[in-house]
Amino acid sequence: MLSLEKYAVFIPDNFLPVINMEYETGLSKSMLSIFKLIYGLNIIPIWKSDLKSLLTIPLHKLMSDSIDHDRIKYIIYVHTASWVSLIDDSIEIYLKKYFPFTQAHIWESSLYKCVGYFKAVELLQHILSPEDLGLIITGEVAFTPKLRVVPRSTIVGDAATASLFSLSGLRHHLMSVKTKLVQGYEKGIYLTDDQLKAFEKKYIGETVSVIAEVLDDACIRLDDITLILPHNVNMPTWQKIAETLRFPTEKIYLHNISKMGHTFCSDHLINLQSAIAERYLHVGDYYLMVGCGLGFFISAAVWRY
**Could you tell me if 21 and 75 are in contact, meaning their C-beta atoms sit under 8 angstroms apart?**
no
Rounded Cα distance between 172 and 67, Å, is 18
Q: Could you tell me the residue ranges of all domains in the chain?
A: 3-166, 173-304
pLDDT at 188: 66
- CATH class (in words) of the domain with range 173-304: alpha beta
**Could you tell me if 161 and 258 are in contact, meaning their C-beta atoms sit under 8 angstroms apart?**
no
Rounded Cα distance between 137 and 155, Å, is 21
Rounded Cα distance between 285 and 218, Å, is 14
Rounded Cα distance between 179 and 125, Å, is 14
* Partners of 106 in the β-ladder: 75
pTM for the model stands at 0.95
Task: Assign 127 to helix, strand or coil.
Answer: helix
Q: Within 13 Å of residue 103, how many CA atoms lie on the same side as its CB? A: 11
Architecture of 3-166 per CATH?
Answer: 3-Layer(aba) Sandwich (3.40)
Rounded Cα distance between 55 and 92, Å, is 12
E strands present in 61-172: 72-78, 105-109, 133-140, 149-150, 154-155, 159-166
Which amino acid does the sequence have at 290? Answer: V
pLDDT at 287: 98
Q: Which of 39, 36, 34 is nearest to 17 (CA)?
A: 36
Rounded Cα distance between 148 and 127, Å, is 34
Omega prior to 247 cis, within 30 of 0: no
* Fold agreement between 3-166 and 173-304: yes
DSSP at 252: B
**Could you tell me if 255 and 274 are in contact, meaning their C-beta atoms sit under 8 angstroms apart?**
yes
Per-residue pLDDT of the chain (305 residues), as tens digits, is: 999 999 999 999 999 999 999 999 999 999 999 999 999 999 999 999 999 999 999 999 998 767 888 999 999 999 999 888 877 788 988 998 889 888 899 999 999 999 999 999 999 999 999 999 999 999 999 999 999 999 889 999 999 999 999 999 999 999 999 999 988 777 666 667 777 777 777 889 999 999 999 999 999 999 999 999 999 999 999 999 999 999 999 999 999 999 999 999 999 999 999 999 999 999 999 999 999 998 889 999 999 99
